[in-house]
């Protein structure tokens, strides 16, 4: 009864808002249905056996010397084998169709977004628009988004549950991810891997807006606010938790490549016993 109350909960993998999230929910439901094919009969059989072989049932046969039944062995082994075969088929097909590196079929040109996981915040760079934001991801609805992801320090994990496909970010490496939001909305994004004292506050909002609104946002942000160059990035990369999202009106060309190839030195990473992260205001960051 308690779990039934969670059915209406939003902002999760069972409330997808994009093609990848919807496909992953289908896999979850298919896997659940396949596994119930063995779970439900087993529960029924346990209850039926307990009732039939009760002490007061004189019709139940007592076979103290019984040791083997080919028919029982056939049922016991064939059903789990079929379940494994069906599950492996679902996983095989799904792992190819939902490969994070596989582009989403669309007539629209994908939006390029470069992601850097910092301690303890998320940096989003829009190379084609020449702007950047921290802890705020703005994307156009109905348009595929190609993410290139890396880490400034320790391994982390990028996850927007309603859009699907959690993927790791690693220092000195670039991973790829393709997602799409079908309609405008605000979706919860988070770090899905513990990364130190400020992990609990390492989340962001993914805002899906109409294409015209996104273009207006990018144009308005261009030239408004500080420039994100190597020096500004070094300040941003310090371990801290920001109070509200930041925006940069200009981005040094090739900055993401410098971070990913470690031409900009990686951050030190979490240190045990620091006494908790410091909160940095947007004014002091800029």
Q: What is the per-residue pLDDT across 227-279, written as a single tens digit (0 to 9) for each? A: 999 999 999 999 888 888 999 999 999 999 999 999 988 887 765 544 545 44
Question: Are residues 172 and 213 both part of a single domain?
Answer: yes
Residues 138 and 156: their CA atoms lie apart, in Å, by 21
**Radius of gyration of the chain measured on its C-alpha atoms:** 26
Output the six-digit token pair for 53: 């072989």
Q: Does residue 6 sit within a domain?
A: no
**Residue that is last in its domain, among 97, 130, 161:** 97
pLDDT tens sequence across 123-160:
999 999 999 999 999 999 999 999 999 999 889 999 99
Q: Does residue 104 sit within a domain?
A: no
pLDDT above 50 (res 281): no
Residues 204 and 138: their CA atoms lie apart, in Å, by 11
Q: Does residue 1 sit within a domain?
A: no
**Residue that is last in its domain, among 67, 97, 127:** 97
Q: Does residue 7 sit within a domain?
A: no
Torsion 126-130-135-136 (CA) sign: negative
Q: Does residue 238 sit within a domain?
A: yes
pLDDT tens sequence across 110-121:
999 999 999 889
pLDDT above 90 (res 185): yes
Q: Which stretches within the chain are classed as H helix? A: 19-52, 70-97, 211-221, 230-236, 255-260, 282-285
Question: Are residues 115 and 73 both part of a single domain?
Answer: no
Q: Could you tell me the pLDDT band of residue 62, with boundaries at 50, 70 and 90?
A: confident
Question: Are residues 243 and 167 both part of a single domain?
Answer: yes
The pLDDT, as a whole number, for residue 133 is 95
Question: Are residues 37 and 116 both part of a single domain?
Answer: no
CATH number of the domain within which 67 lies = 1.10.287.90
Question: Are residues 187 and 238 both part of a single domain?
Answer: yes
Output the six-digit token pair for 151: 């880490």
For the chain, give the mean pLDDT: 87
Percentage of the residues of the chain whose pLDDT score is greater than 70? 90
The pLDDT, as a whole number, for residue 128 is 94
Question: Are residues 243 and 146 both part of a single domain?
Answer: yes
Question: Are residues 22 and 92 both part of a single domain?
Answer: yes
Q: Which domain holds residue 214?
A: 111-264+274-285
Cβ–Cβ < 8 Å for 164, 16: yes
How far is Cα of residue 192 from the mean position of the Cα atoms in its chain? 7
Question: Are residues 88 and 159 both part of a single domain?
Answer: no
First to last CA, the chain: 50
Contacts of 142 (CB under 8 A, 6+ apart): 108, 180, 181, 182, 183, 211
Q: Does residue 4 sit within a domain?
A: no
Helix (H) or strand (E) holding 49: helix 19-52
Q: Does residue 269 sit within a domain?
A: no
Residues 180 and 193: their CA atoms lie apart, in Å, by 23
Question: Are residues 199 and 225 both part of a single domain?
Answer: yes
Question: Are residues 115 and 147 both part of a single domain?
Answer: yes
Q: Could you tell me the pLDDT band of residue 75, with boundaries at 50, 70 and 90?
A: confident
pLDDT above 60 (res 96): yes
Q: How many independent structural domains does the chain possess?
A: 2
pLDDT tens sequence across 188-233:
999 988 888 888 889 999 999 999 999 999 999 987 889 999 999 9
**Residue that is last in its domain, among 51, 66, 97:** 97
Dihedral in degrees, nearest 10, Cα atoms 54, 59, 61, 62: 50
CATH number of the domain within which 119 lies = 2.60.40.420
Preceding peptide of 120 cis, ω within 30°: yes
Helix (H) or strand (E) holding 209: strand 203-209
The pLDDT, as a whole number, for residue 142 is 93
Question: Are residues 69 and 180 both part of a single domain?
Answer: no
Question: Are residues 90 and 129 both part of a single domain?
Answer: no
């Amino acid at each position: 009864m308690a779990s039934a109350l969670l059915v209406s909960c939003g902002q999760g993998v069972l409330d997808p808002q994009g093609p990848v999230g919807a496909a992953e929910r289908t896999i979850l439901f298919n896997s659940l249905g396949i596994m119930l094919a063995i779970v439900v009969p087993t529960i029924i059989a346990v209850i039926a056996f307990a009732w039939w072989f009760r002490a007061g049932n004189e019709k139940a046969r007592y076979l103290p010397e019984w040791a083997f039944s080919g028919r029982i062995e056939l049922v016991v082994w064939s059903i789990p084998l079929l379940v494994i075969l069906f599950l492996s088929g679902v996983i095989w097909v799904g792992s190819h169709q939902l490969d994070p590196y596989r582009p989403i079929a669309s007539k629209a040109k994908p939006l390029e977004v470069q992601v850097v996981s910092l301690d303890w915040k998320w940096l989003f760079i829009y190379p084609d628009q020449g702007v950047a934001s921290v802890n705020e991801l703005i994307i156009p609805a109905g348009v595929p988004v190609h993410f290139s992801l890396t880490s400034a320090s320790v391994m982390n994990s990028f996850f927007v549950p309603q859009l699907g496909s959690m993927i790791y970010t690693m220092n000195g490496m670039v991973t790829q991810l393709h997602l799409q939001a079908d309609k405008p909305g605000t979706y919860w994004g988070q770090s899905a891997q513990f990364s130190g004292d400020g992990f609990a506050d390492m989340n962001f909002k993914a805002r899906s807006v109409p294409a015209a609104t996104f273009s207006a946002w990018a144009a308005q942000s261009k030239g408004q606010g500080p420039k994100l160059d190597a020096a500004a990035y070094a300040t941003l990369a310090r371990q801290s938790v920001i109070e509200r999202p930041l925006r940069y009106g200009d981005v040094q060309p090739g900055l993401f490549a410098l971070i990913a190839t470690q031409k900009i030195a990686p951050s030190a990473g979490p240190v045990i016993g620091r006494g908790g992260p410091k909160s940095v205001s947007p004014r002091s960051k800029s």
